[in-house]
Structure 1
Amino acid sequence: MSRLHALMRNADDGDIHAAFENAARGHAIAPMEEHTQLSPAQMEERSLICNGPGPRVDVNAFRELRTRLLAVGDGRSFVTLVVPVSRGSGGSYVCRNLAAAFAFDETKSAVLIDCNPYHPSQHQTMHIEPYRGGLVDYLGDSAAESSDVVYETGIPRLRLIPAGNVNGSGGEYFSSPRMQLLLDTLRNRYPARYLFLDGPAVRGAPDARILADLVDLVVLVAGHGRDSAASIAQAAANFDPNKFAGVVLNQAP
């Protein structure tokens, strides 16, 4: 497992306290059908944090990120883009586990969407066979329903939309009206639903900037010892300051 250090945009204690108060007043969402539930060993195999007994360093790190995002989000359900500065910085790991941390809260649900057309990985890591296709298939088929490409993950209240049959033209798909329709449909299906887009690296392709136009918040992931301060600052400059939530340093143990 990786160790995380969050350098999120500052939220004062009042904001964080209010976020906890709002969560405490919430109620568990309507039960979502779950045919199987992952064991702790299966979660570890999938590089997922496990909200159970034992060491909780990574769990607490992601819970802290969740709290800070909720404070920045000011009580609204939101769509978050998680992108690495460069490939190999751990963006998919952070996105997957941030979505899981939100799903651990019984008052919330989360959808993890693999938006990396160049190196899709979430379905492989999660051991999910996308037999109904995925995001690209939905975006390219006007007759497809969003429910066609949503898969159970084995974690209650967490769903996955895999990348699907990618052909390398992700940016054009992401700027289509169907992409916005999908995000709106998913967000409004349940109260307190949060969407997490696993995007490609900022360096090397415009897709991260295209996706940023569709979301409420952007989280940048930097590899500790991999991405320099200058490259992090350069990557952050690609995003609207009003959407930019901050930087997560992903550090190998």
Structure 2
Amino acid sequence: MNARPDALDHPAGDHAGGRSIARAGDALQPLSPVVLEERKLIHRNDSVRAQADAFRSLRTKLLALGQDRNLVILVAPVQPGCGGSFVARNLAAAFAFDESKTVLLVDCDALHPVQHASLGVDVAGGGVMDYLDGSVADLSAIQYDTGLPRLTLVPSGRPRETAGEYFSSSRMRMMVDSLRGTDAGRYVIIDSPPILNSPDARILSDLADLIVVVAGYGQAAVERIDEAAASFDPDKLAGVVFNNIY
């Protein structure tokens, strides 16, 4: 797989201006195209048609590789600044376009979590790290409405310097299995820390069915991309997305 999702603006930046706030259990009104574009999110209107089609194409390729079964997909940037969170967020949005599918976006960048800010979600109820350390007992308490139909956010929670021991725990595996569920058409997108900065991406790859590596177009050297891709089981590696950064 070799895709190039164009930027809605600056894909490596994760800013959320003028956002409404959602808490776990709250239901938001659908977001307008203007707000979606402020949050660097694809939608169905012509103004971002090229970008939306790029993510739809990526979704279609992943579904073909996964043979239409429920999937856990790890989106892992080669290094900081590649726009991995942008790709993960918009890939999740592309899955949610399909009314027969539901998707959970799980932010596992414990040191630099961004998805809650980008999606305008108040994570006062905690997130992944709080669930894994036992501070939050109920998995449903860390699942937040995003204002995008069929797309739920599981934020990272309180930032942690190290997370590998949590990600390799049996509680993490049980959490991912529970999020995947058994209902048809359910997908989990994991937003990973950079591959070359820590072992966390490799640890998280054990939980994934497919892995998408994100390289900033013209930013990461070929040798660095090859080094990052070699961190993973080749049978799980779906390919590399070259993310345009302006």
TM interval, shorter chain, is: 0.7 to 0.9
Deviations 1:134-179 (A, max 9, x none): 0001111176111010000000000001110122221111011111
- The aligned amino acid for 1:237 is A
1:73 equivalent among 57, 66, 77: 66
Does the C-alpha gap of structure 1 residues 76 and 234 become closer, same or farther in structure 2, counting only changes over 3 Å? same
The residue number in structure 2 matching 1:150 is 143
1:40 aligns to what?
Answer: 33
Q: 2:123 is matched with which residue: 130, 136, 140? A: 130
2:220 to 227, 236, 248: 227
Does 1:62 find its partner at 2:55?
A: yes
Q: Give the aligned partner of residue 18 of structure 2.
A: none
Indicate yes or no: 2:178 matched with 1:179.
Answer: no
Helix, strand or coil at the partner of 1:79: strand
Q: Displacement of 1:232 after TM fit?
A: 0.5
Per the TM alignment, residue 55 of structure 1 is displaced from its structure 2 partner at its CA by 4.1
CA offset at residue 118 of structure 1? 1.5
TM-score normalised by length of structure 1: 0.85
Against the structure 1 CA distance between its residues 55 and 160, is the aligned structure 2 distance closer, same or farther, given a 3 Å change threshold?
A: closer
Q: 2:28 touches 2:146 (CA, 8 Å); kept in 1?
A: no
Between the aligned partners of 2:136 and 2:126, the Cα distance in structure 1 is 13
The separation in 1 between residues aligned to 2:219 and 2:162, in whole angstroms, is 28
1:243 is aligned, of 225, 233, 236, to: 236
Tell me what 2:11 maps to.
Answer: none
Q: Which residue does 1:110 correspond to in 2?
A: 103
Which deviations, in whole Å up to 9, do the C-alpha atoms of 1:46-82 show, x marking residues without a partner? Answer: 1111122434010000000000000000121110000
Consecutive unaligned residues in structure 1, runs of 5 or more: 7-31
Give the alignment's Cα RMSD to 1 decimal.
1.7
State whether residues 34 and 156 of structure 1, in contact with CA within 8 Å, keep that contact through their aligned partners in structure 2: no
Q: Percent identity?
A: 48
Aligned length: 225
- Partner of 1:204, secondary structure, is coil
Q: TM-score, normalised by structure 2?
A: 0.88
> Residues 4 and 242 of structure 2 are in contact (CA less than 8 Å); yes or no, is this contact kept in structure 1?
yes
How far apart are 1:190 and its partner, in Å? 3.6
Q: Which runs of 5+ in 2 are unaligned?
A: 6-24
Cα separation, 1, equivalents of 2:94 and 2:167:
26
